[in-house]
A and B are shown apart, each in its own frame.
Chain A
Amino acid sequence: EVQLLESGGGLLQPGGSLRLSCTASGFIFSRLAMHWVRQAPGKGLEWVSGISGYGESTFYADSVKGRFTISRDNSENTVYLQMNSLRAEDTAVYYCAKGHYGSASSVSNFDHWGQGTLVSVSS
């Protein structure tokens, strides 16, 4: 059974930094791309970032480019999202999602999702 468990969310002030983690199980982690998708309170889904199976390719939404960094440790079956220079508009539930293919580009097929971790940015 595929399981994705996010952690690392919390409350912090604008300008702060936070690292989210997502630990996966139930599949061959290194073969598949992983993504982060967020949802602001009462709003729709927004894709944040994706990373290919072996970590050689990464992609970002324009809204987080230059501030967020996605990475993965295939030996630990974990994907990370380092978030710097946080803004109030980054407040959201952050979901980890499993890609259906090794490539993180040209696809939007996320076949399993975690339960999400809440990030609140407020002064």
Chain B
Amino acid sequence: QSVLTQPPSASGTPGQRVTISCSGSRSNIGSNAVNWYQQLPGTAPKLLIYSNDQRPSGVPDRFSGSKSGTSASLAISGLQSEDEADYYCAAWDDSLNAVLFGGGTKLTVL
């Protein structure tokens, strides 16, 4: 059971905007940066958003992140078929002295 809570699934049609939430607590999201990872089917995860809202080079600006209090969100605008993947949030937890991942959200492009 993940301490960071994500919806198990999300969906949208091409061109739509979808958001994926990640809920935590004061000891993790409330105190540390949130990072988001994208895992395409059969591949290793890839860093998508770091430090709450920063995009690594090469990540399209359709992807954006935000954080408020003990929650964070990933938004994908102009949804494309190649965005179909699993998305994970992650944050350090000060109480556990460990990295926590959310349970993951499977995004389906209809």
Q: Which residues does A use to contact B, with CB under 8 Å?
A: 35, 37, 44-47, 50, 59-62, 95, 100, 105-116
A-B contact pairs, 20 of them (CB 8 A): A37-B45, A44-B86, A44-B101, A45-B88, A45-B101, A45-B104, A59-B98, A60-B98, A100-B50, A105-B92, A106-B32, A106-B92, A108-B92, A108-B100, A109-B33, A109-B47, A109-B50, A109-B51, A110-B35, A113-B44
Complex: A50 Cα to B99 Cα, angstroms: 9
Contacts of A60 in B (CB 8 A): 98
Smallest CB-CB A-B distances: 6 pairs: A47-B99, A44-B104, A108-B90, A113-B44, A45-B101, A108-B99
Please give the residue numbers on chain B whose beta carbons come within 8 Å of chain A beta carbons, in ascending order. 2, 32-35, 37, 39, 44-47, 50-51, 56, 86, 88, 90-92, 94, 96-104
A109 to B56, CA, bound (A): 11
CB distance B46 to A108 under 8 Å?
no
Contact of B96 among A62, A109, A110 (CB under 8 A): A62
Tell me the nearest residue of chain A to B50, going by C-beta.
A109
Check if B88 sits within 8 Å of A113, measured CB to CB.
no
- Complex Cα distance A114/B44, Å? 7
B100 touches A47 (CB 8 A): yes
